[in-house]
Amino acid sequence: MVALIHETCQYGYMRHDDYSQAPPMRAPLLAEERDGFRFRGGCPAIDLPATLQARLKPAPRELLATPEDVRRWMVAAGLTDTAPPADEGDLALARRLREAIYDVAVHRHGGSGPPRGSLNSALAVLNQVAALPAAIPTLTLAGSTASVAFTGPMTAFIATVAREAVHLFGSGASIRQCQSPTCTLFFVDTSRAGDRRWCSMKGCGTKAKVAEFRRRKRESGG
């Protein structure tokens, strides 16, 4: 039987790995688009900023518009099967954390899309949220299988994402921004060559290749 430890990111304390094989094998990758949210970064903490779409436009699209959206995102991110209730305070906290993570990524790893505040202010928010009580992991053993479930109020799940971000930024991981001029998504570059360019080959990567093909065709007079 496959024993999965339900975690979120390879650089923190939460990760999806299959430990029933030797050596360990990564569990099947989840879809990049889940319940209306994008998960292209390889880690929910770095995916949270994607809930504000079209950052470079005058009117970005807010995907965390209501407390229910926070609950939906937690489930889509794989943090829980059934999210706890959320209120307006949780919504505001999730948005604050989102912008703090984005600002730290921009300040430390560059990219387009100016940060909303200074690095110190972003770090202050990130560390404050991470200091809140996090979701409680519970181990379940059944025969040859093992699973970990997380429980707690919504603030605890938001704190868990913040702690994941702390581990991620402190790990020395290669965090890069998509090279599409219209995309501001960040991702963890785990490619062997360390030269990943796009948040998604199916999305921005394909668009870039099509644009390059059309440019060359125009230049050649084809």
Q: Does pLDDT of 162 surpass 70?
A: yes
Q: Alpha-carbon distance 178 to 201, whole Å?
A: 10
Structure tokens at 71: 């609950």
Side-chain half-sphere of 22: how many Cα atoms within 13 Å? 0
Tens-place pLDDT, residues 209-218:
555 545 555 5
CB-neighbour burial class of residue 118 (10 A; exposed 0-12, middle 13-18, buried 19+): exposed
Tell me: the pLDDT tens digits for 183-203? 888 989 887 766 676 776 575
Q: What six digits make up the tokens of 21?
A: 């094989």
Residue 15 has pLDDT above 50, yes or no: no
Can you tell me whether residue 27 is helix, strand or coil? coil
**Neighbouring C-beta atoms of residue 108, cutoff 10 Å:** 13
- Which is more confidently placed, 22 or 118? 118
According to the model, what pLDDT value does residue 14 have? 55
Does residue 168 carry a pLDDT above 90? yes
Residue 147 phi/psi, 5-degree rounding, is -145, 155
Mean pLDDT, residues 64-92 taken together: 97
Q: Which of 10, 14, 7 is nearest to 175 (CA)?
A: 10
Res. 206 pLDDT band, cuts 50 70 90? low
When the pLDDT of each residue in the chain is averaged and rounded to a whole number, the result is: 81
**The pLDDT of residue 4:** 30
Q: How much is the CA Rg of the chain, to the nearest whole Å?
A: 18
- Choice between 43 and 179, residue whose per-residue pLDDT is larger: 43
Averaged pLDDT, 151-169: 97
CA triplet 19, 22, 136: central angle to 5 degrees? 15
**CB count in 10 Å sphere of residue 136:** 11
pLDDT value at residue 214:
52
d(CA 127, CA 115): 17
For 99-134, how does the pLDDT look when each residue is reduced to its tens digit (9 = 90+)? Answer: 999 999 999 888 777 788 899 999 999 999 999 999
Give me the residue label for tokens 């603030």.
Answer: 155
Q: What is the arithmetic mean of pLDDT over 18-28?
A: 36
Cis peptide leading into 23, omega within 30 of 0?
yes
Mean pLDDT (whole number) for 38-50: 94
Give residue 19's pLDDT.
29
Mean pLDDT score, 88-99: 98
pLDDT, average across residues 92-101? 98
Bridge-partner residues for 54, per DSSP? none
Q: What is the dihedral of CA 9, 10, 13, 16, to 10 degrees?
A: 70
Please state the rounded mean pLDDT for residues 19-25.
Answer: 34
